[in-house]
């Protein structure tokens, strides 16, 4: 066994005697694997460049050679990537990665943990690095949305190709040809455990959103309002029935610079590369109407804040 590794192998196993793979499938799988390797390197600030190497038979085997300033860190990066790609999730990937883990740590805490891991991984030989540290780093990478989505894409592609029985990941040293570790194999029956069934995330709610009204809707119907929120122009649904009625009855008139303070619901999903995108906005409760220095509270806003204060006080009591 080699003490370092710089060659990453993806091994496709077929349920027939073929050594051929669909070129389009191979190209798309390669894109997802490279995206995972590059994202992991970026998270851990490991200098790494990836180069395609000559594929070989035995099913079909793709190789990528990783090169960088530090051979030990290259090896650690490939070990972590192999763990992330081959460790079958034991829980629902949607709930675990897309909801609980996103909110479990603040961005600052995540950055701090990653910085600690970087220090522990820096300038050490692989044999000197505690396995727990590598597993910690793998967990950090494993919960990254881009990694989760790219891995889901990979196994979705593989599951749609019925000639593929399983895939394997192996690390080796390109100079000596020695293997760094045994091949980690994933059977076809486990492919679906890596796949996210829905890209929809739980809606994010801003309970103190301020929207400058550009274009109110002054007639009945399902028309979108338009306004400026956090320096961006948005279209949104006005779902506060009491406020809509007041507008239609002309109890509320809008002027240049009129704003509302409101509860804003933001529908979200992750795209094909794991980026979080807002897909729609909806105002559920208008709390205040702001006209310059004048602030007018709404009845529904008073009710909302009263209910929220009671709920918050109950949580404080039980905590």
Return the structure tokens found at 27: 């190209």
The per-residue pLDDT for 7 is 94
Per-residue pLDDT of the chain (319 residues; tens, 9 = 90+): 777 889 999 999 998 877 788 999 999 999 999 999 999 998 888 889 999 877 776 678 999 999 988 888 899 899 999 999 999 886 665 545 555 545 554 455 555 566 666 666 665 666 666 677 788 788 888 888 899 999 999 999 999 999 999 999 999 988 888 899 899 999 999 999 999 888 888 889 999 999 999 999 988 888 999 999 999 999 999 999 999 999 999 898 898 999 999 999 999 998 999 888 999 999 999 999 999 889 999 999 999 999 988 887 776 555 5
pLDDT for the residue numbered 139: 82
| CA nearest neighbour of 8 among 179, 209, 172, 141 | 172
| pLDDT for position 315 | 65
What contacts 177, CB < 8 A, 6 or more positions away? none
Taking each helix axis from N to C terminus, what angle separates 71-86 and 131-142, rounded to the nearest 10 degrees? 60
pLDDT of residue 13: 93
Cα→Cα distances 22→18, 60, 119, 227, Å: 11, 11, 42, 49
Residue 6's φ and ψ, nearest 5 degrees, are -135, 5
CB-neighbour burial class of residue 20 (10 A; exposed 0-12, middle 13-18, buried 19+): exposed
CATH architecture of the domain formed by 200-318: Beta Barrel (2.40)
List the chain domain ranges. Answer: 7-194, 200-318
Instruction: Provide the token pair at 85.
Output: 């790609």
> DSSP labels for the chain?
--S---EEEEEEEESSS-----HHHHHHHHHHHHHHHHHHHHHTT---EEEEEEEEETTEEEEEEEE-S-HHHHHHHHHHHHHHHHS--SS-HIIIIIIIHHHHS-HHHHHHHHHHHHHHHTT--GGGS-HHHHHHHHHHHHT-HHHHHHHHHHHHHHHT-TTEEEEEEEEE-TTT--BSSPPEEEEGGGGGGG--S--EEEEEEEEEEEEEEEE---SSSS--EEEEETTEEEEEEE--HHHHHHHHTTSS---TT-EEEEEEEEEEEE-TTS-EEEEEEEEEEEEEEEETTEEEE-HHHHHHHHHHHHHHHHHHHH-
Taking CA atoms, 185 is separated from 29, 68, 82, 203, in Å, by 16, 27, 10, 37
User: 36-74: buried (b, 16+ CB within 10 Å) or exposed (e) per residue?
Assistant: bbbbbbebbebebebeeeeeeeebbbbbbebeeebbbbb
Predicted pLDDT at 111: 59
């Amino acid at each position: 066994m080699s003490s370092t590794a710089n060659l990453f192998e993806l091994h496709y196993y077929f349920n027939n005697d073929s050594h051929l793979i669909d070129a389009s499938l191979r190209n798309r799988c390669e894109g997802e694997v490279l995206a995972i390797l590059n994202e992991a390197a970026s998270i851990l600030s490991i200098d790494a460049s990836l180069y395609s190497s000559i594929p070989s038979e035995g099913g079909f085997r793709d190789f990528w050679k990783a090169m960088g300033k530090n051979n030990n860190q290259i090896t650690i990066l490939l070990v972590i990537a192999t763990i992330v790609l081959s460790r079958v999730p034991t829980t629902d990937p949607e709930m675990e990665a897309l909801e609980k883990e996103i909110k479990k740590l603040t961005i600052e805490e995540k950055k701090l943990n990653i910085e600690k891991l970087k220090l522990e991984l820096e300038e050490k030989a692989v044999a000197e690095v505690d396995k727990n540290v590598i597993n910690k780093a793998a967990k950090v990478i494993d919960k990254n949305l881009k990694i989760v989505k790219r891995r889901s894409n990979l196994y979705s592609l593989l599951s749609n190709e019925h000639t593929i029985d399983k895939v394997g990941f192996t690390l080796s040293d390109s100079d000596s040809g020695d293997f760094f570790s045994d091949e980690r194999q994933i059977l076809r029956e486990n492919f679906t455990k890596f796949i996210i069934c829905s890209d929809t995330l739980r809606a994010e709610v801003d309970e103190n959103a301020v929207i400058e009204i550009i274009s109110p809707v002054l007639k009945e119907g399902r028309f979108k309002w338009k306004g400026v929120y956090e320096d961006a122009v948005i279209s949104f649904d006005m779902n506060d029935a009491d406020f809509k009625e007041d507008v239609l009855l002309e109890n509320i008139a809008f002027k240049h610079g009129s704003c509302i303070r409101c509860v804003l619901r933001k529908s979200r999903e992750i795209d094909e590369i794991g980026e979080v995108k807002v897909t729609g906005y909806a105002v559920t409760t208008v709390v205040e109407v702001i006209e310059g220095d004048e602030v007018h509270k709404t009845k529904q806003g008073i009710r909302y804040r009263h209910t929220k204060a009671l709920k918050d006080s109950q949580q404080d009591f039980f905590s």
